[in-house]
A = this chain, B = another copy of it.
Amino acid sequence: MVNLNEMGCRAVAVKPQLQMLSTEEKNRALIACAKALVNHEEEIIRANGLDLEKAVANGMSEGLQDRLRLTEARIAAMAEGLEQVAELPDCLGEVLEEITRPNGMVISKVRVPIGVIGIIYEARPNVTADAFGLCFKTGNAVILKGGSDAIHSNEAIVKVLRETVEQLGIRPDVLQLITDTDRSTTVEFMKLKQYVDLLIPRGSARLIASVVENSTIPVIETGTGNCHVYVDKAADLEMAAKIILNAKTQRIGVCNACESLVIHEAVRERFLPILAKTLAPKSVELRGDQRTCEVLEDCVPATEADYGTEYLDYILSVKTVDSIEEAIAHINRYNTMHSECIVTEDAQAAEKFLREVDAACVYWNVSTRFTDGFEFGFGAEIGISTQKLHARGPMGLRELTSYKYQIRGNGQVRG
């Protein structure tokens, strides 16, 4: 049985040292960690083998096995991720605002670490190194709770990272892994409010819902994406087909993939055959309303549930609307506030959509697949936030920080 309180205390205890590290010291440590991962790839792959053996014995699906599997190339990619984080600018200490008040006191709003961040995720061992890198660079201690199916892999990776920072004189408790795979431990972790400032669930909608339900720590929800492309009556139909092809099929299992097409009645009959032809090479199943099925004979009738489903598969739901207002209402009803797109040549319609659709990222004539820290130019990200507090959209380094007000004076008192 892990003592979570003790882990919490240890995380809090490293905060002062972590906060005092210079940018150079942090970058040096990140690069050393990258090297160490590669140097220890054999051990890591051996540990991963234990997880895979158990996974096979338990009948884990091929897809999940693939997510769990570590190879030399994948460990190299993890290492490269740490090096990329080292290259990103250090935003800590940035003065966001400075105000001199009439009484002479000077108020500075300064960027600071959040403190201790907890991350709960599934059997994706690459998240272990990624999360450490982003949290470490932003001066945050991190406590990880990975999926139990990846426990040996995670232990091996964490051991390498902890040993590496320790060799550089940094307390290894900047990174801790909860090794107890008991569900009750996970729930207890979600209530470790005294020590943990932020909890980020990464994974399935079910995992996220469980964290939201149980956590007393502030949570940032990430990654559920029921994303729509709306083809307006004034759309360039070739462009629309190209964007949907990309948003739907460029990568199928990702949160910014398009799951639903909303189409204006005025272009329905002309556009659907173009779309069907464009998607044909990818064998995308279309599930549409009656008006869609009238045009496309292969179309499967859509149920209400289809419009609420994030397929992560070669399936696209289709809904016909008679106005942009109806399109916006439909999207605001079913979307997960992730990424939404309008295709139109009508600037007024576009601006209405950009304003009224409630999502982290709203696109005009651009594929939803760009919702990504690297594509936005922010660098590596810890996830895509789909809620409205603190951070929305790609969560990179800045989004893993908070601020404090520092007020300097010479004896001011309030009258």
A-side residues, CB < 8 A to B, are 15-16, 19, 99, 101, 105, 107, 114-115, 193, 197-198, 212-213, 216, 218-220, 236, 239, 242-243, 245-247, 250, 350, 354-356, 358-367, 369-371, 375-377, 387-390, 392-393, 402-414
Q: Is the CB of A366 within 8 A of B105?
A: yes
List the B side residues contacting A250 at CB < 8 Å: 413-414
Grouping DSSP codes into helix (H, G, I), strand (E, B) and loop, the A interface class, with mixed when no group exceeds half, is: mixed
Cross-chain contact of A367 among B19, B245, B414 (Cβ < 8 A): B414
Q: Is the CB of A405 within 8 A of B360?
A: yes
Closest to A370 in B: B414
List the B side residues contacting A114 at CB < 8 Å: 388-389
Q: Is the CB of A403 within 8 A of B392?
A: yes
Nearest-Cβ distance from residue A179 to partner chain B, whole angstroms: 27
Q: What would 20 more interface pairs be, CB under 8 Å, given A101-B377, A392-B405?
A: A99-B376, A114-B388, A114-B389, A212-B216, A218-B218, A218-B219, A218-B387, A239-B410, A243-B413, A246-B413, A250-B413, A354-B406, A364-B408, A364-B409, A366-B408, A370-B412, A375-B414, A389-B389, A389-B402, A390-B390
A114, A212, A246, A390 — which one has the most chain B CB atoms within 10 A of its CB? A390
Nearest-Cβ distance from residue A385 to partner chain B, whole angstroms: 10
Given contacts A412-B370, A413-B367, contact A388 B198 (CB under 8 A): yes
Assembly CA distance A246 to B413 (angstroms): 6
Given contacts A409-B363, A409-B364, contact A389 B19 (CB under 8 A): no
Assembly CA distance A237 to B250 (angstroms): 68
Given contacts A376-B107, A413-B243, contact A388 B402 (CB under 8 A): yes
Q: Is the CB of B413 within 8 A of A242?
A: yes
Assembly CA distance A408 to B365 (angstroms): 7
List the B side residues contacting A413 at CB < 8 Å: 242-243, 245-247, 250, 366-367, 369
Nearest-Cβ distance from residue A120 to partner chain B, whole angstroms: 16
List the B side residues contacting A107 at CB < 8 Å: 376
Nearest-Cβ distance from residue A254 to partner chain B, whole angstroms: 10
